[in-house]
């Protein structure tokens, strides 16, 4: 039996009189692409942030059958990509790559993988350009290239594709599918791009409380 990459057990978030999430449970296995849906205000982003430990301190979140709340180091197995990035404006693309290699404690394979994604996204020519001088779309591609290259088992995506052109979106659909199948990893995502629904192995709807 294949073990779960992550498991959420009866997750509750918010005040008792104003619950954002109420008894949400989810199991994610290797090879899955799980699409989270729900109307605006249903708590989709809140749910993803709870999965990453940014909210709720990792309570009700289990990795390797251990609760994240008591074992924060387990969060290193996840990568979280939002519509806003964490790139440094006054560093070049290449300097950001080297910086995050050190932060993530990755080996040289990380650099090679990022460079391959830059080539796939056709943005190699911006390696020596300051991040602040990049368009939002190019900036998003750099961010994705870095986060996709990190050694992790679960990639959590919260609307990171909105600034990307249609051609890049199509490449990401193909890469996402290849990513989970070849490396026994998983993706949990929130996106309004309908094409991603075609590759989702499962669609989970979060309903608005109240």
Domains of the chain: 6-205 (3.40.50.300)
Band (pLDDT 50/70/90 cuts) for residue 8 is very high
Q: Are 2 and 30 in contact (CB under 8 A)?
A: yes
Low-confidence winner among 65-69, 115-119, 133-137, 184-188 (lowest mean pLDDT)? 65-69
Mean pLDDT across the stretch 115-127? 94
Q: Are 77 and 154 in contact (CB under 8 A)?
A: yes
pLDDT at residue 126 in the model: 98
* Nearest one of 182, 180, 175 to 31, comparing CA atoms: 180
Distance CA 104, CA 23 (A): 33
Band (pLDDT 50/70/90 cuts) for residue 32 is very high
Write the DSSP assignment of the chain as a string of letters: -PPPSEEEEEEEEEETTEEEEEEEEEEE-TT-EEEEE--TTSSHHHHHHHHHTSSGGGTTEEETTEEGGG-GGGGGGEEEEESS----TTSBHHHHHHHHHHHHT--HHHHHHHHHHHHHTT-GGGTTSBGGGS-HHHHHHHHHHHHHHS--SEEEEESTTTTS-HHHHHHHHHHHHHHHHHHT-EEEEE---GGGGGT-SEEEEPPPP-
Q: Are 34 and 202 in contact (CB under 8 A)?
A: yes
pLDDT at residue 1 in the model: 58
More confident residue, 155 or 72: 155
| Tally of CB atoms within 10 A around 119 | 11
Band (pLDDT 50/70/90 cuts) for residue 210 is very low
How is residue 120 written in tokens? 């796939």
pLDDT per position as a tens digit, 166-199: 888 888 888 778 777 766 789 999 988 888 888 8
| The model's pTM | 0.85
How is residue 191 written in tokens? 């996106």
Q: Are 96 and 142 in contact (CB under 8 A)?
A: yes
Q: In this model, does residue 133 exceed pLDDT 50? A: yes
More confident residue, 47 or 16: 47
Q: In this model, does residue 28 exceed pLDDT 90? A: yes
pLDDT per position as a tens digit, 78-104: 777 777 788 999 999 999 999 999 999
């Amino acid at each position: 039996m294949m073990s779960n990459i992550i498991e959420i057990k009866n997750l509750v978030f918010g005040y008792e009189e104003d619950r954002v999430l109420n008894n949400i449970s989810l199991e994610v296995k290797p090879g899955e692409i799980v699409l989270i849906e729900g109307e605006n205000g249903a708590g989709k982003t809140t749910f993803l942030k709870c999965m990453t430990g940014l909210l709720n301190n990792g309570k009700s979140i289990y990795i390797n059958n251990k609760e994240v709340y008591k074992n924060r180091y387990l969060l290193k197995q996840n990568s979280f990509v939002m519509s806003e990035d964490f790139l440094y404006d006054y560093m070049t693309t290449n300097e950001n790559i080297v910086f995050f290699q050190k932060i993530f404690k990755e080996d040289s394979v990380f650099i090679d993988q990022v460079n391959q994604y830059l080539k796939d996204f056709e943005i190699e020519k911006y390696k020596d350009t300051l991040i602040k001088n990049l368009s939002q779309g190019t900036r998003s591609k750099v961010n994705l290239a870095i986060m996709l290259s990190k050694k992790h088992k679960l990639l959590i995506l919260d609307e990171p594709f909105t600034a990307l052109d249609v051609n890049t979106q199509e490449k990401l659909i193909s890469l996402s599918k290849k990513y989970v199948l070849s490396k026994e990893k998983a993706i949990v995502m929130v996106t309004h791009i309908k094409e991603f629904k075609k590759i989702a192995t499962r669609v989970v709807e979060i309903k608005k409380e109240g």
